[in-house]
Amino acid sequence: MNVFNQLSIWLSFQLSIIFLIGIPVTLSFWSIKKRNKAVYKLLSIYWKVSLLFFISLLLLIGKYNYALLITNISTLLMTVSVWFWNDINDELKEYDFSYSLTTTTKIWRWTLTFISLNFLIQSLQNLDCFSFINSDSCAAWLLPSSNLHIFIKNLFNFFFGTNFTQPIAKFLGLFSLLIYTLGLIQWSIIKFPKNGRNSYFSENDRN
Protein backbone atom coordinates (compact mmCIF):
# COMPACT_ATOMS: atom_id res chain seq x y z
CA MET A 1 0.00 0.00 0.00
CA ASN A 2 1.61 3.25 -1.15
CA VAL A 3 2.03 6.38 0.92
CA PHE A 4 -0.64 8.30 -1.02
CA ASN A 5 -3.21 5.61 -0.34
CA GLN A 6 -2.33 5.55 3.36
CA LEU A 7 -2.66 9.33 3.56
CA SER A 8 -5.98 9.19 1.74
CA ILE A 9 -7.34 6.59 4.17
CA TRP A 10 -6.16 8.64 7.16
CA LEU A 11 -7.80 11.77 5.71
CA SER A 12 -11.06 9.89 5.10
CA PHE A 13 -11.24 8.92 8.77
CA GLN A 14 -10.44 12.48 9.88
CA LEU A 15 -13.24 13.84 7.71
CA SER A 16 -15.52 11.18 9.14
CA ILE A 17 -14.92 12.51 12.65
CA ILE A 18 -16.00 15.97 11.53
CA PHE A 19 -18.96 15.18 9.28
CA LEU A 20 -20.21 11.94 10.85
CA ILE A 21 -19.93 13.07 14.46
CA GLY A 22 -18.96 16.73 14.96
CA ILE A 23 -21.44 18.46 12.65
CA PRO A 24 -24.40 16.17 13.54
CA VAL A 25 -23.83 16.94 17.24
CA THR A 26 -23.92 20.66 16.43
CA LEU A 27 -27.06 20.30 14.30
CA SER A 28 -28.77 18.30 17.04
CA PHE A 29 -28.28 21.05 19.65
CA TRP A 30 -29.08 23.72 17.06
CA SER A 31 -32.39 22.05 16.15
CA ILE A 32 -33.34 21.85 19.84
CA LYS A 33 -32.58 25.54 20.30
CA LYS A 34 -34.58 26.49 17.20
CA ARG A 35 -37.32 23.97 18.05
CA ASN A 36 -37.20 22.64 14.52
CA LYS A 37 -38.97 19.28 14.68
CA ALA A 38 -38.00 18.14 11.18
CA VAL A 39 -34.26 18.60 11.65
CA TYR A 40 -34.41 17.23 15.19
CA LYS A 41 -36.24 14.10 14.00
CA LEU A 42 -33.78 13.68 11.12
CA LEU A 43 -30.83 13.80 13.51
CA SER A 44 -32.55 11.49 16.00
CA ILE A 45 -32.94 8.86 13.29
CA TYR A 46 -29.40 9.48 12.09
CA TRP A 47 -27.93 8.82 15.55
CA LYS A 48 -29.82 5.54 15.86
CA VAL A 49 -28.54 4.38 12.48
CA SER A 50 -25.00 5.65 13.13
CA LEU A 51 -24.60 3.29 16.07
CA LEU A 52 -23.44 0.74 13.50
CA PHE A 53 -20.50 3.00 12.64
CA PHE A 54 -19.35 3.03 16.27
CA ILE A 55 -19.82 -0.73 16.42
CA SER A 56 -17.59 -1.07 13.37
CA LEU A 57 -14.90 0.98 15.13
CA LEU A 58 -14.97 -1.50 18.01
CA LEU A 59 -14.61 -4.31 15.48
CA LEU A 60 -11.67 -2.53 13.86
CA ILE A 61 -10.02 -2.26 17.27
CA GLY A 62 -10.70 -5.96 17.75
CA LYS A 63 -9.30 -6.67 14.27
CA TYR A 64 -12.43 -8.52 13.23
CA ASN A 65 -11.96 -9.65 9.63
CA TYR A 66 -15.21 -8.16 8.31
CA ALA A 67 -14.90 -4.87 10.20
CA LEU A 68 -14.22 -2.80 7.08
CA LEU A 69 -17.25 -4.27 5.33
CA ILE A 70 -19.42 -3.32 8.31
CA THR A 71 -17.91 0.18 8.33
CA ASN A 72 -18.93 0.68 4.71
CA ILE A 73 -22.41 -0.68 5.34
CA SER A 74 -22.75 1.74 8.25
CA THR A 75 -21.77 4.83 6.23
CA LEU A 76 -24.14 3.83 3.42
CA LEU A 77 -27.01 3.32 5.90
CA MET A 78 -26.25 6.67 7.51
CA THR A 79 -26.44 8.36 4.11
CA VAL A 80 -29.71 6.64 3.23
CA SER A 81 -31.18 7.60 6.61
CA VAL A 82 -30.81 11.35 5.97
CA TRP A 83 -32.49 11.20 2.53
CA PHE A 84 -35.12 8.52 3.10
CA TRP A 85 -38.00 10.35 4.79
CA ASN A 86 -40.57 11.99 2.50
CA ASP A 87 -42.19 14.21 5.13
CA ILE A 88 -38.82 15.57 6.32
CA ASN A 89 -37.68 16.18 2.73
CA ASP A 90 -40.90 18.07 1.98
CA GLU A 91 -40.52 20.14 5.13
CA LEU A 92 -36.91 21.10 4.35
CA LYS A 93 -37.97 22.25 0.88
CA GLU A 94 -40.27 24.82 2.49
CA TYR A 95 -37.34 26.79 3.92
CA ASP A 96 -35.39 29.22 1.78
CA PHE A 97 -31.64 29.66 1.72
CA SER A 98 -31.68 32.38 4.40
CA TYR A 99 -32.75 29.94 7.11
CA SER A 100 -29.32 28.83 8.24
CA LEU A 101 -30.28 25.68 10.15
CA THR A 102 -31.98 23.91 7.25
CA THR A 103 -29.43 25.22 4.74
CA THR A 104 -26.60 23.80 6.84
CA THR A 105 -28.52 20.53 7.16
CA LYS A 106 -28.92 20.27 3.38
CA ILE A 107 -25.22 20.98 2.79
CA TRP A 108 -24.31 18.42 5.45
CA ARG A 109 -26.47 15.77 3.78
CA TRP A 110 -24.69 16.22 0.46
CA THR A 111 -21.29 16.23 2.17
CA LEU A 112 -22.17 13.06 4.07
CA THR A 113 -23.15 11.43 0.76
CA PHE A 114 -19.83 12.39 -0.81
CA ILE A 115 -17.82 11.10 2.16
CA SER A 116 -19.72 7.83 2.16
CA LEU A 117 -19.12 7.25 -1.55
CA ASN A 118 -15.47 8.27 -1.22
CA PHE A 119 -15.05 5.84 1.67
CA LEU A 120 -16.55 3.05 -0.44
CA ILE A 121 -14.31 3.83 -3.42
CA GLN A 122 -11.27 3.86 -1.13
CA SER A 123 -12.25 0.50 0.31
CA LEU A 124 -12.83 -1.06 -3.10
CA GLN A 125 -9.21 -0.30 -3.93
CA ASN A 126 -8.30 -2.72 -1.15
CA LEU A 127 -11.01 -5.28 -1.79
CA ASP A 128 -9.22 -8.07 0.11
CA CYS A 129 -9.58 -6.04 3.29
CA PHE A 130 -13.35 -6.61 3.25
CA SER A 131 -12.83 -10.20 4.32
CA PHE A 132 -9.33 -10.22 5.84
CA ILE A 133 -8.48 -6.99 7.65
CA ASN A 134 -5.51 -8.60 9.41
CA SER A 135 -3.32 -8.86 6.32
CA ASP A 136 -0.26 -6.61 6.07
CA SER A 137 -1.74 -4.77 3.09
CA CYS A 138 -4.69 -3.65 5.26
CA ALA A 139 -2.63 -2.16 8.10
CA ALA A 140 -3.53 1.40 7.10
CA TRP A 141 -7.21 0.71 7.78
CA LEU A 142 -6.43 -0.27 11.37
CA LEU A 143 -4.22 2.71 12.21
CA PRO A 144 -7.02 5.32 12.62
CA SER A 145 -8.73 3.15 15.24
CA SER A 146 -5.54 2.89 17.33
CA ASN A 147 -6.04 6.36 18.87
CA LEU A 148 -9.61 5.46 19.77
CA HIS A 149 -8.32 2.23 21.29
CA ILE A 150 -5.92 4.17 23.52
CA PHE A 151 -8.72 6.54 24.63
CA ILE A 152 -11.16 3.72 25.44
CA LYS A 153 -8.38 1.72 27.09
CA ASN A 154 -7.65 4.59 29.49
CA LEU A 155 -11.35 5.04 30.30
CA PHE A 156 -11.83 1.31 30.75
CA ASN A 157 -8.86 1.13 33.09
CA PHE A 158 -10.09 4.15 35.06
CA PHE A 159 -13.63 2.83 35.61
CA PHE A 160 -13.04 -0.91 35.78
CA GLY A 161 -9.38 -1.21 36.71
CA THR A 162 -8.59 -3.54 33.83
CA ASN A 163 -7.26 -3.34 30.28
CA PHE A 164 -9.49 -2.89 27.23
CA THR A 165 -7.97 -5.60 25.05
CA GLN A 166 -8.63 -6.48 21.42
CA PRO A 167 -10.64 -9.62 22.37
CA ILE A 168 -12.88 -7.49 24.61
CA ALA A 169 -13.39 -4.96 21.82
CA LYS A 170 -14.23 -7.75 19.38
CA PHE A 171 -16.71 -9.35 21.80
CA LEU A 172 -18.45 -6.05 22.57
CA GLY A 173 -18.54 -5.19 18.87
CA LEU A 174 -20.05 -8.54 17.83
CA PHE A 175 -22.57 -8.50 20.69
CA SER A 176 -23.61 -4.94 19.80
CA LEU A 177 -23.82 -5.94 16.13
CA LEU A 178 -26.23 -8.75 17.06
CA ILE A 179 -28.49 -6.37 19.00
CA TYR A 180 -28.34 -3.80 16.20
CA THR A 181 -29.22 -6.40 13.57
CA LEU A 182 -32.21 -7.61 15.59
CA GLY A 183 -33.42 -4.01 15.94
CA LEU A 184 -33.04 -3.40 12.21
CA ILE A 185 -34.97 -6.58 11.41
CA GLN A 186 -37.73 -5.55 13.81
CA TRP A 187 -37.99 -2.12 12.13
CA SER A 188 -38.04 -3.71 8.66
CA ILE A 189 -40.80 -6.17 9.56
CA ILE A 190 -43.01 -4.07 11.85
CA LYS A 191 -42.46 -0.33 11.50
CA PHE A 192 -41.49 0.08 7.86
CA PRO A 193 -44.61 -1.64 6.41
CA LYS A 194 -46.76 0.47 8.76
CA ASN A 195 -45.13 3.90 8.40
CA GLY A 196 -43.39 3.64 5.03
CA ARG A 197 -41.11 6.58 4.28
CA ASN A 198 -42.81 8.91 6.76
CA SER A 199 -41.02 9.84 9.98
CA TYR A 200 -44.09 11.53 11.54
CA PHE A 201 -41.80 14.21 12.95
CA SER A 202 -44.76 16.46 13.73
CA GLU A 203 -46.40 13.89 16.00
CA ASN A 204 -44.83 13.67 19.44
CA ASP A 205 -46.47 10.36 20.26
CA ARG A 206 -44.91 8.43 17.37
CA ASN A 207 -41.33 7.18 16.90
The CA distance from 23 to 27, in Å, is 6
Residue 3 confidence (pLDDT):
66
pLDDT of residue 207: 41
Half-sphere exposure (Cβ direction) of 147: Cα atoms closer than 13 Å: 6
> pTM, whole model, 2 decimals?
0.88
Single-letter amino acid code for the residue at 160: F
Q: Of 45, 51, 69, which is closest to residue 177 (Cα–Cα)? A: 51
Can you give the pLDDT at residue 98? 85
> Are the C-beta atoms of 142 and 57 separated by less than 8 Å?
no
- The string over 109-141, giving b where at least 16 C-beta atoms fall within 10 Å of a residue's C-beta and e elsewhere, is beebbebbebbeebbeebeebbeebeeeebebb
Mean pLDDT in consecutive groups of 10 residues from the start of the chain, 207 residues: 69 83 94 94 96 92 91 95 95 90 96 91 87 84 73 66 79 95 94 91 59
